[in-house]
Amino acid sequence: MKIAFLGTPDFANKSLEMLYKTGHELLVITQVDKPVGRKRILTPPPVKVRALELGLPVLQFEKIRNQAGVSALSSFAPDLMITVAYGQLLSQEILDIPKYGCINVHASILPKYRGAAPIQWSIINGERVTGVTTMMTELGLDCGDILLTKEVEIDINETAGELFERLSYVGAEVLKETLLELENGTLTRTKQDEDKATKCSMLTRETGKIDFSKDALTVHNLVRGTNPEPGAYALLSGEPIKIFRTKLTEETSCAQDGECVIADPKKGLFVKAGDGKLIEILEIQFPGSKRMSAKNALMGKQMMGKVFE
């Protein structure tokens, strides 16, 4: 088939590679290059990088709904359009171009977690199961008919970044199965139950602000769900301290919420959460320092009795 593939982050690359290996004629469309990091170096999206490595044609649009995007897709005349974390809303004019419509690969079990950051929010909210859904794209936010789904369990210590990696492979598998059923004429569509629909928003820096008055599991989930972006942090003497990994314990304390109850280079760093349990901080970064294990950080920092705000 002639397929227009719209995707942007690493998550989309496994699906792109699958389509390439299965011999489809591809046109890749992705977001424009953007400045990244403190030096604001203009950087191409991961999908562009991979597509060029595969020798595939790549187009980039500030807004694909503008005439240039519509014209490019019309000229390619795809049988099918596939979106995987593309990051732009499509117009009905664009959705009407491909013969078989547009299929989206979404990293949740729809209708739960529609919208941005479903992987991160599933972890932050303490879900133990998530997955990937292929769906027909319609106007609106992830509201189209469900095609296929595959569930996966979330490990209690798994970060959003780690889950992203796993689900990228699952997404490619589900998409492959979806296309086989489409080609065989056996693909079915199921309407989403709007009463069960939930939406999730983009994460901001403030999403990662840790509140140690919350229970230990809630804190642990926030740290996992915001790793690697936007990152979790807590204030210590007014300075933001980044926290990358934590571990749940059964130890308890009557100390103040956020207090460093144990802070020893050999034993580690343990902070009291709102439910009385201690949560161990495994990886940390102080202002002006590198990310490191908490035990190594404690070799040069006195943390005992200090309180995270």
* Parent domain of 253: 205-297
Distance CA 281, CA 305 (A): 15
Q: Do 104 and 233 belong together in one domain?
A: no
Structure tokens at 6: 């719209």
Contact 122, 42 (CB under 8 A): no
Residue 259 confidence (pLDDT): 98
pTM: 0.94
What percent of the chain is predicted at pLDDT more than 90?
Answer: 95
Residue 305, domain member (yes or no): no
Q: Do 169 and 217 belong together in one domain?
A: no
Q: How confident is the model over 190-210, as pLDDT tens digits?
A: 999 999 999 999 999 999 999
Q: Do 154 and 32 belong together in one domain?
A: yes
Q: Do 160 and 286 belong together in one domain?
A: no
Distance CA 297, CA 299 (A): 5
Q: How many CA atoms lie within 13 A of 308 on its CB side?
A: 30
Closest CA to 222 of 212, 208, 234: 208
Picking from 165, 200, 235, the residue at the C-terminal end of a domain is 200
Higher-pLDDT residue of 259 and 36 is 259
In this predicted structure, the answer to whether residue 116 has a pLDDT above a threshold of 90 is no
Q: How confident is the model over 150-161, as pLDDT tens digits?
A: 999 999 999 999
Structure tokens at 31: 């977001």
Residue 303, domain member (yes or no): no
Residue 234 confidence (pLDDT): 98
Residue 141 confidence (pLDDT): 86
Q: Do 46 and 163 belong together in one domain?
A: yes
Q: Do 186 and 210 belong together in one domain?
A: no
Confidence band, pLDDT 50/70/90 cuts, at residue 19: very high
Burial 7-45 (b: 16+ CB within 10 A, else e): bbbbbbbbbbbbbbeeebebbbbbbeeeeeeeeeeeebb
DSSP of 228-285: TTT-EEEEETTEEEEEEEEEEEEEE--S-TTBEEEEETTTEEEEE-TTSEEEEEEEEE
Confidence band, pLDDT 50/70/90 cuts, at residue 171: very high
Q: How many domains does the chain have?
A: 2
Q: Do 160 and 272 belong together in one domain?
A: no
Confidence band, pLDDT 50/70/90 cuts, at residue 73: very high
